[in-house]
């Protein structure tokens, strides 16, 4: 997201540059139609993280408290990377698949629409 300064002479240092994350990159993950998580969750992950690790460890750790989580059919999840359809490969790293610093990964789970279909 681009931010404009109120005054043209404002000069500030961007502190969210990838160089400031000690070899990690920030990756945001959101779960569509599950507003118990009101926005994508940010994770600092090594670029070499396998997509399988993202799903099995990171996403599971963050979202498993939702009642729908146990019902996810991972073969039917619809993925988006930075608002574009995405067909991730479990055995490839994030960076190999175009997931870089401040990328947003969203998952939609057909048939699961939040607690009792409420979107939350």
- Closest-CA residue to 51 (of 18, 5, 86): 86
Looking at per-residue confidence, does 42 or 38 come out higher?
Answer: 42
Domains of the chain, start order: 18-117 (3.10.20.560)
Altogether, the residues listed in the chain come to a count of 120
Q: What is the mean pLDDT of the chain?
A: 93
pLDDT tens for each residue of 7-18: 888 787 888 888
- Spatial contact of 46 and 23, defined as CB atoms under 8 Å apart: yes
pTM, two decimal places: 0.87
pLDDT tens for each residue of 97-119: 999 999 999 999 999 999 988 98
Q: What is the pLDDT of residue 1?
A: 54
């Amino acid at each position: 997201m681009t931010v404009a300064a109120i005054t043209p002479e404002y000069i500030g240092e961007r502190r969210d540059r990838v160089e400031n994350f000690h070899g990690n990159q920030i990756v945001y993950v959101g779960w569509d139609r599950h507003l118990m998580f009101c926005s994508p969750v940010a994770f600092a992950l090594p670029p070499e993280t396998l997509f399988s690790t993202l799903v099995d460890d990171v996403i599971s750790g963050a979202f498993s408290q939702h009642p729908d989580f146990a019902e996810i059919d991972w073969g039917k999840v619809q993925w988006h990377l930075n608002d574009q359809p995405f067909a991730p490969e479990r055995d490839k790293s994030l960076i190999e698949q175009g997931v870089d610093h401040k990328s947003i990964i969203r998952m939609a789970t057909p048939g699961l629409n939040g607690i009792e279909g409420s979107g939350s």
